[in-house]
Amino acid sequence: MSQDNTTVAAISWTGHGDGFLTLLDQTRLPEAVTYVNCDNVECVWQAIKKLAVRGAPAIGISAAYGVVLGVRDGAMLPSGAAAATVEEAKQAALAACDYLATSRPTAVNLFWALDRMRGVITTLDEPSSGRVGERLLAEAQAIHEADRLQCAAIGRHGSDLLEALGSGVGIVTHCNTGMLATGGDGTALAVLFALSERGMKPQVFADETRPLLQGARLTAWELMQRGVDVTLICDSMAAPILRDGKAKAVIVGADRITARGDTANKIGTYGLAVQAHYHKVPFYVAAPTTTFDLTITFGSDIPIEQRTPEEITNAFGRRTAPEDVQVDNPAFDVTPAELITGIITERGVISPVTEEAVRAMIGA
């Protein structure tokens, strides 16, 4: 299948406050480019939970739009009827915030976006329920646009940093961190796209990222659409690639970063960081400042989502393990700050990664 990446939008809104949200169904990639149209909160909740939309920034953006839908969603009110007054519209929107917050526990961008929407809701003084929807839509769109600009800045700062490694450098990445995961070009992939646009021709090794193969299905697809040299590898192949000098850097994204820099990201990231450290290869995290959670100091305090056993035993419609086998399927692991060479944000690069440096960059 060939699809021009510039025509594909992972998240889009159609209409005004009474419009609808369209999400690219990432569970269908790369076989098909299909979309889910959401006009109620439950649809957005299910899309987040079932990974039709995924990636910390994209989850937050989608949830913000979901709050807009909550204004007219009768399921958000005890009466079961759509809001008829401004107060009912605000009540419905707050209920949407609470419900969407239960979709996934680890990505802090989700809670950041919902808190921002709550802040708007509690200060609203609009003449009609329709105007409430318009005001919340403006806020959701502002969150979306801000993320697009953050992605571009991360790309610039990261490419400034990695350009020194030279043209054609090998770089390992894990999971998916591009436009499918954000409101712009991505985080880690934004850096690779920016390097490519500068003519540096990075040679990317994309971990397949088990068990749901986000690297194989999504990252390889995105890089190929943009003409970036990519080689798909099994997760267990990263170590010999680093050992043999085929890659001179590792760059990944993040779902939550603590005040000291401990980073929760897709399962397998911690092992990759250990391998990079052993082979003396720099290991970078790329993430917007909205991914930092300064209320948490240590990675051990980050809530880690547990996914269903079927994602391992029956992934993609075929049983690959004995029935009734015990399964442990955390969606994320935590990489300690000591293994991270630098964190690339839209404000610059945090290196070395310490609590003092993190707080100085984030401003708290």
Q: Provide the mean pLDDT of the chain.
A: 95
Q: Cβ atoms within 10 A of the Cβ of 5, count?
A: 15
Residue 37 banded pLDDT, cuts 50, 70, 90? very high
Q: Where in the chain is the domain with CATH 1.20.120.420?
A: 5-147
- Beta-bridge mates of residue 350: 343
- Beta-bridge mates of residue 13: 21
Tell me the binding residues. Answer: 54-56, 104, 214, 265-266
Residue 2 banded pLDDT, cuts 50, 70, 90? very low
pLDDT in tens, 326-361: 999 999 999 999 999 999 999 999 999 999 999 999
Q: Average pLDDT in the 64-85 region? A: 92
Residue 130 banded pLDDT, cuts 50, 70, 90? confident
Q: What is the pLDDT of residue 7?
A: 56
Q: Is the pLDDT confidence value at 6 over 90?
A: no
CA–CA dist 124, 171 (Å, integer): 47
The percent of residues above 90 in pLDDT, for the chain, comes to: 91
CA–CA dist 135, 139 (Å, integer): 7
CA–CA dist 194, 160 (Å, integer): 9
pTM score: 0.94
CA–CA dist 63, 117 (Å, integer): 9
Q: Average pLDDT in the 262-286 region? A: 99
The region of weakest confidence among 32-46, 123-137, 237-251 is 123-137
Q: Average pLDDT in the 198-217 region? A: 98
Phi and psi torsions of 23, nearest 5°: -120, 135
Q: Is the pLDDT confidence value at 209 over 70?
A: yes
Q: What is the pLDDT of residue 226?
A: 96
Residue 315 banded pLDDT, cuts 50, 70, 90? confident
pLDDT in tens, 138-197: 999 999 999 999 999 999 999 999 999 999 999 999 999 999 999 999 999 999 999 999
293 is catalytic: no
Tell me the binding residues for substrate. Answer: 54-56, 104, 214, 265-266
The CATH code for residues 156-362 is 3.40.50.10470
Residue 227 banded pLDDT, cuts 50, 70, 90? very high
**Catalytic: which of 73, 147, 255, 293?**
255
The CATH code for residues 5-147 is 1.20.120.420
Cα 102 to chain centroid distance, Å, stands at: 17
Alpha carbon distances (Å) from 147 to 4, 31, 83, 181, 334: 22, 28, 30, 11, 24
Q: What is the pLDDT of residue 259?
A: 98
